[in-house]
Structure 1
Amino acid sequence: MQPITDRPIRWGVLATGGIATAFVEDLAAVPGAEVHAVASRRADSARAFADRHGIPHAHGSPADLAADPEVDVVYVATPHSAHHAGTKLLLEAGKAVLCEKPFTLNHGQAAELVSLARKRETFLMEAMWTYLDPTVRRIAELVADGAIGEVRTVQAEFGFVEAEVPGHRLWDPAVGGGALLDLGVYPVAFAQLLLGEPDSVQALARLSSLGVDARTSMLLGHPGGATALLSCSLDAECAQRASIQGSAGRIEIDRDFFHPAGFTLHRAGAEPETFRGPAKVGHGYGLEAAEVMRCLRAGETESPLVPHDSTLAVMRTLDAVRERTGVRYPGE
């Protein structure tokens, strides 16, 4: 990839749903970013989105967006089940890609995309904003520096109550529905940021009548003996908190551990220390866009903060959890 250093970086957006809207709104606050085009499977949907957000070009298919010579990078905001096909199309056309989480439905699809990006020397990154959040990065630094000693256990939960409605994306097997891929990717990614990839995976789930998981609990074992106790749910309200427990203290995140406002450090024998992170700008997606653009201006094909290997490791764990709970998607 040739570095883009002499002009704004032109974005395309694939899909027109709520998360695409939030991303486009946040791009307005990212210096040097321009939204050039949007694409949808329906031309009228793309046109309406473009008109609503002042985007110059609307395309009625992903292929048309991939062929647009003015687009440098595309944000893929489609349902999980369409991530693989859309990202593959864009990479083959030479476009840099920021793909929403979960990266794909399974590890096999993810590995194919990473291999293609590396072969084409084209930038690719999962939109894992947790790994870019300055507060989470500060937590990871404290853990790495031994602030709580040797980490013994990571606990994290993410869930809410969503009525089980046939056809809703959260419950539809055809689009990768269920709690694990939509919500469980966050606690798994958080734990693996701190502990690395597990060498043992245990899981239990309550499956919905539609065949996807309404609730999943996970116990991950990591090299050295550390464990992660994680859960995700579409049928129970959760505090969305996390705790990192070590041999010399612990770190508590009371809310929204995946992009927290702050945290409390408890060192053994010392008064608790409360840390507050910087104020969030917009919805938080600007962090992802800024890192992508930094990489494109430097000619990098992979972010050191959201590396391909981390994305693949998370997908391997999610696959292992589904294997143990019996969740399968059409075509697998």
Structure 2
Amino acid sequence: MSKIYNWAVLGCGKIANKFVNDLKLLPNARLYAAASRDLNRAQDFANDLGFEKAYGSYSEMVEDTNVDVVYIATPHSHHFEHTMLCLTHKKAVLCEKAFAMNQHEVAQMIECAKENNIFLMEAFWTMFQPSYQKALEIINSGELGKLKMVRSDFAFNAEFNEDKRLYNVKLGGGSLLDIGIYPVFAALSTLGVPDLIKSSADFSPTGSEESIQLIFKYKNGEMASLSSSFAVHSPVQSEFCCENGYVILHPRWFTPTDLTVWKDGDEQQLIPNETKEGAGYQYEAKHVMECLDAELIESPKMTWKMSEDLIKTLDRIRIDAGIFFPDHDEKLFY
């Protein structure tokens, strides 16, 4: 019988709301504490979703000895600060992506988890979706031959507001770290770290990157074509093209979705989405608690190396494209 874990949420925004609604599906998860810099906001969030406690400061929440694990859902510009706060107070951490702003911050976060012997994982929920796992199973089986090309996109036409997170450079604004991270993940989790990266970016009036196109090239001829944007709408799907067939993850491919599989000489096969309830966040939360049950400090599925490869690749893209965050990047460009 699994232990009942007291969950705390650090940052009471929209993504936290979605995550908590799925957390309710897990019998070994207790909604214990909600924390915000604004006590009224924390209380409203706690009352709406059924948390036992509300805190008006993050530092007060991590002092609560009853908190077992913290889900960090603040803007990624603050992930390093908030993760370090939780880890140094011996709280297990599930931190939203992007894990941090650059590889130097991520390296310190992982080192802190090791030093404190505390669980830390990037909340890359796509890795845990049954549909994505099925796609990986088919690709890795070799039944379609060698994977040679990945095409993946994520774009939507966002309202321009220079103060809101999407366009605010101080909050890590830009499509790459917010949604472009998904297509980058699709390439890394199937083809691995690219040997060559070419990028082309367009910037908003605030200086934030608004749209980006990426080409990844690999030494054995594999390629990936990736894109993200806040200026247009796109199909939001991923295609994995192999020597003898292909796998397509249908629109909103990073969530529970349908798959189409085609093998040369056969008819297309539709594999329907098997998720019947929830948005899909429950899978990563379930995995976290399984890791805690096993007394692990690192996930065997969303490993620290995967997070390091991801952030290092994002750093390489930003250097190539000229995407700069002055409050974080002193060591990145020099």
**TM-score, normalised with respect to structure 1:** 0.96
What SS class does the counterpart of residue 34 from structure 1 fall into?
strand
| d(CA) in 1 for partners of 2:205, 2:276 | 38
Paired residue secondary structure (1:103):
coil
Contact 1:253 1:260 in 2 (8 A): no
Q: 1:133 — aligned with what? A: 129
Sequence identity, in percent? 35
Amino acid at match of 2:301: L
Aligned length, in residue pairs: 328
Cα offsets for 1:235-259 (capped at 9, x unmatched) = 0110001111111111122311212
Measure, in 2, the Cα distance between the counterparts of 1:75 and 1:30: 15
- Are 1:82 and 2:109 matched, yes or no? no
Letter in 2 for 1:154: V
8 Å CA contact 1:47, 1:58 repeated in 2? yes
CA deviation vs aligned residue, 1:198-247 (integer Å, no higher than 9, x gap): 12111000111111111000011234221110000100110001111111
User: Which residue is equivalent to 1:111?
Assistant: 107
Query: In structure 2, how many angstroms separate the alpha carbons of the residues matched to 1:199 and 1:113?
Result: 26
For 1:324, the equivalent position in structure 2 comes to 320
Structure 2: how far apart are the matches of 1:139 and 1:112? 33
Please tell me whether residue 65 in structure 1 is matched to residue 61 in structure 2: yes
Asked if the contact 1:180–1:216 (Cα under 8 Å) also holds between the matched residues in 2, the reply is yes
1:136 shift after superposition: 0.6
Does 2:122 match 1:163?
no
1:232 matches 2:228: yes
What runs of 5+ residues in structure 2 fail to find an aligned partner? 330-334
**TM-aligned CA deviation for residue 6 of structure 1:** 6.3
* Partner AA of 1:24 in structure 2: V
Q: Distance in 2 between matches of 1:29 and 1:250?
A: 34
Aligned to 2:89: 93
How far 1:291 moved relative to its partner? 0.5
Letter in 1 for 2:310: V
| 1:1-332 mapped onto 2 (5 Å cutoff) | 7-331=3-327, 332=329
* SS of equivalent residue, structure 1 residue 201: strand
Q: How far off its partner does 1:260 sit?
A: 4.1
**2:212 is paired with a residue of what secondary structure?**
strand
For the residues of structure 2 that align with 1:158 and 1:269, how far apart are their CA atoms? 31
2:232 aligned partner, one-letter code:
A
Instruction: Report the equivalent of 2:332.
Output: none
Evaluate the alpha carbon distance shift between residue 6 and residue 313 of structure 1 in structure 2; reply closer, same or farther with a 3 A threshold. Answer: closer
Find the aligned partners of 1:7 and 1:242 in 2 and give their Cα distance: 37
**Cα deviation, residue 111, structure 1:** 1.2
Are residues 96 and 148 of structure 1, via their aligned partners in 2, closer, same or farther at CA, if it must alter by over 3 Å?
A: same
Q: Report the RMSD for the aligned CA atoms in angstroms.
A: 1.2
152-161 vs 18-27, which deviates more?
Answer: 18-27
Aligned equivalents of 2:250, 2:17: Cα separation in 1: 28
**Quick one: distance in 1 between partners of 2:73 and 2:299?**
19
Q: Is the 8 A contact 1:13 1:76 kept in 2?
A: yes
Contact kept? 2:256, 2:275, Cα under 8 Å = no
User: Which letter maps to 2:10?
Assistant: L
Q: Is the 8 A contact 1:130 1:190 kept in 2?
A: no
Secondary structure at the counterpart of residue 156 of structure 1 = strand
Alpha-carbon distance between aligned partners in 2 of 1:150 and 1:6, rounded to the nearest angstrom: 40
C-alpha distance in 2, partners of 1:97/1:261? 27
Structure 1 counterpart of 2:220, one-letter code:
G
Alpha-carbon distance, 1:277 to partner: 2.8
Q: Partner letter of residue 295 of structure 1?
A: C
Partner Cα separation in structure 2 for residue 142 and residue 51 of structure 1: 44
CA distance in 2, matches of 1:179, 1:165: 14
Decide whether the 8 Å contact of 1:265 with 1:273 is kept in 2: yes
SS of 1:265 mapped into structure 2: strand
Compared with structure 1, are the counterparts of its residues 6 and 278 closer, same or farther at alpha carbon in structure 2 (3 Å cutoff)? closer
